[in-house]
Structure 1
């Protein structure tokens, strides 16, 4: 299901760039990599996608750190005692990560952002909606809802993606009432059942700062453009007081929000939607917007 696509993405990200000087963090149950700023500066919590582990987040965090921000790449499943897959992930874990960020001497505590892509984009919105310490959000190819969890080792198992106080966070289940022709078809059909599961909607109106959403119109994994528009519509309806914007790129797919890279592995990701040219153009523009957004709303480091 989702995993086969994500494994392709994970493999590409694993070789996307040489590692910057990140420091492993293994404290209070955290599995993370810390990219410290050279002086006191805003910090961004960075979340990779459903490949779990650390590679995807590290790839993103390296780019954030290159702008002068501090960056904490946080693994949230798949490694070192964490949940083995995108399921049963305690939301308190992300709070612990923000606690850790605040304790670092070079952190500007009043300016902490979050940056996530794919399931990391979904998670970024979920985390920011419940933690006021996050004051700026960039979510790439995100979701407007909390989706059902999944485990490549047992696709038939039904689990929540997140837990809060040990209890399942309400989610939108997959619609398995009929065979699906693609992963995108499954997500689109399942999204149509949202009126029966309103509790799965992410309460994005609770976010304590500006929001930037980035997606590719040809996303072949899940309907991130439509879900991003749902987020914007909810923010508008709730009279959200902060800036919020969605940029959707023509001829670009699920990888549209990723930072640009010359690595040839990323060129194979057209199977996630879009053309090589469209994805390249989208990544270049999306990264420029990401940097400008964080510098504007967190402060220029």
Structure 2
């Protein structure tokens, strides 16, 4: 099927048509999306990169990469949404829509893989501690990061290539503040039943399968903790608990969004806000809240920045 699209731009209705609500949403999004989410994640990246003791650990290496992906994910989505809140008419070009859709799927796909790699890292650290550094060597860490980039790219490019085949010749109004695959399916001038099933299988089903695999792997880890002493069990539970929270925050909204038929629910926008803005924000908070190593490293980096700024 050839693309016979006559639409060159899409119009978003946004969160609300109320000017007061839009102004409040603007300041909230600027504070949360730009300062807290992107700033918080990049603070973790800089802290780990500037701390040799942390960067030498595969666990913190993957955490820095996860924070970098979260910052990129938010950077791809938040700025356009924030700018739109200043305008009554919210427009995005067809090409711009495809670019942002590619970025969203790319970084989300890479994050899904890196969360799986982090779960494997925790499994090896807890269940095979004597062989940890021989298994989780830097060659394997590099391969896992390469797999994350490649997997994210393949996942995204497949979605985009199929989306390019959809003809858009009718309405160009999207009743959301963000666009996603299902929003575009509603506007296509053709039967999208098959494509909807493809989205479910390529995104939702993969999310669901990986999520179940991660839950099973952590079930195995928890069972192995029975042989640990109380201190070892507490430390392992703290590490695994943070990762389980991040996994749930990432996969549950993803499964809700994509592992179902393309139908609209009244709270879809709330799920999208959570998935696109709050999840990347909560990830760094979850990992640093009870992690003294990260907290101490952040203090040291902050002191160095203050000293450097005073010298200037």
Provide TM-score, normalisation by structure 2.
0.31
Provide TM-score, normalisation by structure 1.
0.31
Bigger proportion of residues as helix: 2
Bigger proportion of residues as strand: 1
Higher relative contact order (CA 8 A, sep 6+): 2
Larger Rg: 2
